């Protein structure tokens, strides 16, 4: 079946370093992707999105890269801070804004 998945379930990063979280998707027809951050006990928080006609988009301290050739998506966080510790999900718009999520990557920031 078609799905969105993340390469690694956990990522440990030193405070101040850059983080890279990866995601692979299998639906080549997907045209919209979103990264969400979910802290313990909270709902997913929108971070950044990208459409399939783009290969890069930047936000505040975050950059999303899209490689449609290999169906790969990544989220880069610059100068990772303790507040960045959370579970990160990539999501794919499968049809009419219905989202398909991967299992998530847990990011832990070491002081």
Q: Sign of dihedral through CA atoms 44, 46, 109, 105? A: positive
Location of structure tokens 């832990």: 108
Interface residue with other proteins among 27, 32, 71, 72 (CB under 8 A) is 32
Cβ count within 10 A of residue 97: 7
Sole window of 12-20, 45-53, 60-68, 69-77 interacting with other proteins (rule: CB under 8 A):
45-53
By CB under 8 A, tell whether 19 contacts other proteins: no
Sole window of 52-60, 61-69, 71-79, 102-110 interacting with other proteins (rule: CB under 8 A):
102-110
Interface residue with other proteins among 28, 29, 40, 42 (CB under 8 A) is 42
Q: Which of these, 64, 70, 39, 68, lies nearest to 50 by C-alpha position?
A: 64
**Strand 4-6 and strand 19-25: pairing?**
antiparallel
Q: Which residues bind other proteins (CB under 8 A)?
A: 32, 34, 36, 41-46, 49, 89, 91, 93-104
């Amino acid at each position: 079946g078609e799905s969105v998945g993340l390469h690694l379930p956990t990522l440990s990063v030193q405070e101040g370093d850059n983080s890279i979280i990866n995601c692979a998707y299998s639906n080549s027809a997907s045209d919209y992707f979103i990264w969400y951050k979910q802290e313990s006990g909270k709902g997913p928080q929108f971070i950044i999105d990208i459409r399939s006609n783009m290969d890069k988009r930047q936000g505040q301290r975050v950059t999303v890269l899209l490689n449609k050739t290999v169906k790969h998506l990544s989220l880069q966080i610059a100068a990772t801070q303790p507040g960045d510790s959370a579970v990160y999900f990539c999501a794919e718009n499968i049809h009419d804004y219905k989202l398909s999520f991967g299992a998530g990557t847990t990011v832990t920031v070491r002081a």
